[in-house]
Amino acid sequence: MDSIIVTGGSPLHGQIPIAGAKNACLAVMPAALLSEEPLTLTNAPRLSDIRTMTELLQSLGAEVTHLQSGQVLALSGHDLNNVTADYEIVRKMRASILVLGPLLARAGRAVVSLPGGCAIGARPVDLHLRALEAMGAELDLREGYVHAKAPPGGLHGAEFEFPMVSVGATENALMAATLAKGTTVLKNAAREPEIVDLAQCLRQMGAKIEGEGTSTITIEGTDRLHGATHPVVVDRIELGTYMLAPAICGGEVECLGGRMELVGSFCEKLDAAGIHVEETERGLKVARRNGRVNAVNVVTEPFPGFPTDLQAQMMALLCTAEGTSVLEERIFENRFMHAPELMRMGASIEVHGGTATVTGVERLKGARVMATDLRASVSLILAGLAAEGETLVSRVYHLDRGYERVEEKLSAVGATIERVKGE
Ligand code: EPZ
């Protein structure tokens, strides 16, 4: 397994291009199953999770070709010939559940393995199932699989209020509703930019959707969707992660493609910490003034609140802040795996349930660390950039799920970072 070695201490200067969003791309790829015509996605990120979704869609009979070294994906659901998403693929990536809604809507049937828990929490899929049931789906859970069947006339429109906000359940319901008969109203829907991106892609394909980006989305079902070309939205989590790099170790970095509206609540916290963020013509420029950053309190919430996917990276910054910060994780029950690893680097952190109290220290120290989750892994790299000496982050396959060429992007702005190939 590959490792990454970071030597801390150098301020960063330059530009980092931000890729297309992993989580948006993982949602729009299954949309190809809704149509017989081709769907082309541009600005796709080159990540192992995208390759896993490719494998899953291909196992269903879809064609997926990676062009321009993976930045363009040509998909076609023309020859859909299998409605079973196998455990062997689903267990690798929870986002596989996103084929359920499209398969059910297009083929009237779907058999999808239940994803099971993962490192950051139990993560059930009950809301995905309840929304589809409201549209008339008959569901049966057997041997670890959801067996779903649409009623004889196909799925029908429904009014469904999510009891809690779920990104994935909103995406599944939204895709299914595009081919359902009649109108679907999704209330308490997720408002994340990835939902807006999916709605824009579906609209390009001929779907009738209103209200994406608000908590009520209305979808008028149509008989068929057609082909389209769609650019994947910028990755706001990759953006936030790289904005934290100069915030942590000093310097000035422009994140190309970054937009303030994607990271509003995160930027408010950076500002409170004393980090300067400026909109430029090409993105967002981040600079750290001299001296330590201020402690700030953070509560993770659905969009437009502070994203859970930036909590670990923000904690890395706050480890060297002046004073005590409290981070409350409200989305996932077990998302502080990075805390004990940061403590190996000299951080002072106390975790009680969903709350972590971080008392800033002047300097972190390099150490051998590892993490079991993508965002936790990258937080350790950020911490390594600020630490004295060398930090070795092992098990970086988690990182490769969500960050393309992290070592290249950071070394281009002056970081001392390299990948060591493992067996
Ligand atoms: C998406 O996961 C993202 N993944 C996650 O990205 C992100 O952390 C999360 O949204 C929250 O923003 C993708 O888009 C592929 P949820 P998702 O359904 O859709 C509970 C990353 O690092 N819940 O919004 O699975 C759930 O357990 C990651 O890139 C139910 O109880 O998240 C959680 O507590 C990891 N029942 C909360 O809702 C359900 O049926 C929010 O989860 C569904 C969810």
DSSP 319-333: TTSBSEEEEE--S-T
Measured CA to CA, the distance from residue 296 to residue 327 in angstroms comes to 8
CB 285 within 8 A of CB 262: no
Specify the amino acid at residue 21: A
Structure confidence by residue, pLDDT tens digits, 15-72 = 999 999 999 999 999 999 999 999 999 999 999 999 999 999 999 999 999 999 999 9
Residue nearest to atom 14 of ligand 1 (CA): 23
| Span between the terminal Cα atoms of the chain, in Å | 6
Active site (annotated) includes residue 201:
no
Ligand 1 atom closest to 121 (CA):
27
Q: Relative to the CA of 122, which ligand 1 atom is closest?
A: 27
Placement of tokens 């702005």 in the chain = 413
* pLDDT at residue number 372: 79
Report the pLDDT value the prediction gives residue 117, as an integer from 0 to 100: 66
Strands (E) across 195-258 are located at 208-210, 216-220, 228-231, 251-256
Phi, psi of 355 (to 5 degrees): -125, 135
Q: Which residues line ligand 1 (CB under 6 A)?
A: 23, 26, 94-95, 121, 123-128, 164, 166-169, 194, 308-309, 331-332, 374-375, 402
- From the CA of 302, how far away is ligand 1's center (Å)? 10
- Rounded CA-CA distance 267/251 in Å is 17
pLDDT of residue 274: 96
- Rounded to the nearest angstrom, the distance between the alpha carbon of 173 and the centre of ligand 1 is 14
Query: pTM of the entire structure?
Result: 0.97
pLDDT at 121: 74
131 Cα: distance to centroid of ligand 1 (angstroms): 15
pLDDT one-digit tens code per residue, 283-302: 999 999 778 999 999 999 99
Q: Give the pLDDT confidence score for residue 371 in this predicted structure.
A: 80
Q: Name the residue at shortest CA distance from atom 16 of ligand 1.
A: 166
The answer to whether the beta carbons of residues 55 and 245 sit under 8 Å apart is: no
Average pLDDT, rounded, for the chain: 96
Q: Which of 118, 255, 267, 319 is catalytic?
A: 118
Instruction: Output the six-digit token pair for 32.
Output: 């190809």
Task: Please write the tens of the pLDDT for every residue from 215-236.
Answer: 999 999 999 999 999 999 999 9
